[in-house]
Amino acid sequence: MTDWKLAARLAKTELAASKKSFFTLLVFFLLMSFTFVNSFEVYAAGDFFFFDFIFLLVFLVFPSWMKGKEFQMAKLGGDLWTVPALVMLQQLPIKKDVIVKSRFLIYGIHSAVFQLLLLIALPTFSTEFRELVTPLSLIAFVIIWMSLSVAAGFVMVASEAGGNFGTKAFLAAWLWIALAVAAMYFLFPVLFPEGFVMWTIHVAGDWPFLVIPAAILLGYGGWRYWQYVMKRDMAKADYL
C-alpha cells in the first residue's frame, strides 16, 4: 500500500472522529459567505477595509482554529507544545512521512471544501461581484485564493509538529504576529488602494493565462515546502 493510501486511511479515521468540528466549520463558512456577499458592495466602494483582513483570516488561519480541541495544539508537559494526536500516532508503527501526509490531507479537506463554498457564493449571490468577473477571470480568482491558502495557510498544519518552546520563544512568536498584523494594517492601504481582494480580482481579469499557472506553481511549492518543514520539525522535537 502506498504512503498516500495509508495517509488517506489515517485521515479518514480522524475526520470521522471530528464530525462536530466539520459541522461547526460548515456553519461558520455559511455565515462568512453571507457576510462577504452582503458587504461586497460596500467593500467595492472602498468603505470596508476589514473585508480584506477577514477574508485573509478565513483562508489562512480559521480552518485550523475551528478544529476540535483534541486536534488543537496543546502543552503536553514541560515546554513541549504539539497536537496530542500527532504524539499518539508516533507511538504506532507508522512512518513519519505517512503521518505528515495524513495531517495535510485532513487540513486540506477542512479548508478546501469550505473555502470553495465561499468562493462560489460570491459570484452566485453578489451582483456587484458578478459584474467584475468573466468565467475565465473567476476561475483565475478561485485558483489564486486556493493557492494562497496552500502556500501561506498550510503553515498552520506544519506547525502541528510543535516542539519545545519556552516563554521567550512564545513571546517572540507573538511579537512577530503583532508586527505582521501591524504591517498589514499600515501597508495594505498603500500597496493596494482598492483592497487586496479587489486587486486579485483585477489581476485575474487582466492576466488570467499568466496568473493561473503562476498560482498553481505557488500552491504546489507551498504544498511541498510545508511538508518538508513539518518533517524537519518532527525530527527535532523531543516528544518523550
Residue 179 backbone phi and psi in degrees, to 5: -65, -40
Find, among 218, 52, 212, the residue nearest to 137 by Cα. 212
pLDDT of residue 70: 63
pLDDT of residue 71: 67
* Full pLDDT tens readout for the chain, 240 residues: 588 888 888 888 877 777 777 787 788 888 989 999 999 999 998 877 789 988 998 888 777 666 666 667 777 776 777 778 788 888 888 888 999 999 999 888 888 888 998 999 999 999 999 999 999 999 999 999 999 999 998 988 888 887 766 667 667 777 887 788 788 777 877 888 888 999 999 999 999 999 999 999 999 999 999 999 999 988 887 666
**Number of separate domains in the chain:** 1
Distance (Å, rounded) from C-alpha 190 to C-alpha 170? Answer: 31
pLDDT of residue 13: 81
Distance (Å, rounded) from C-alpha 67 to C-alpha 173? Answer: 21
The order of strands in the sheet holding 74-77 is: 74-77, 80-82, 163-164
Sequence-distant (6+) residues with CB within 8 A of 29 are: 58, 114, 115, 117, 118
The pTM score is 0.88
Helices (H), 18-134: 19-44, 50-60, 62-65, 84-90, 96-125, 127-130
Q: Cα 144 to chain center, whole Å?
A: 13
Residue 164 pairs in a beta bridge with 80
pLDDT of residue 166: 65
Q: Which domain holds residue 174?
A: 3-236
Sequence-distant (6+) residues with CB within 8 A of 85 are: 14, 70, 71
Contact 60, 153 (CB under 8 A): yes
Q: Cα 40 to chain center, whole Å?
A: 22
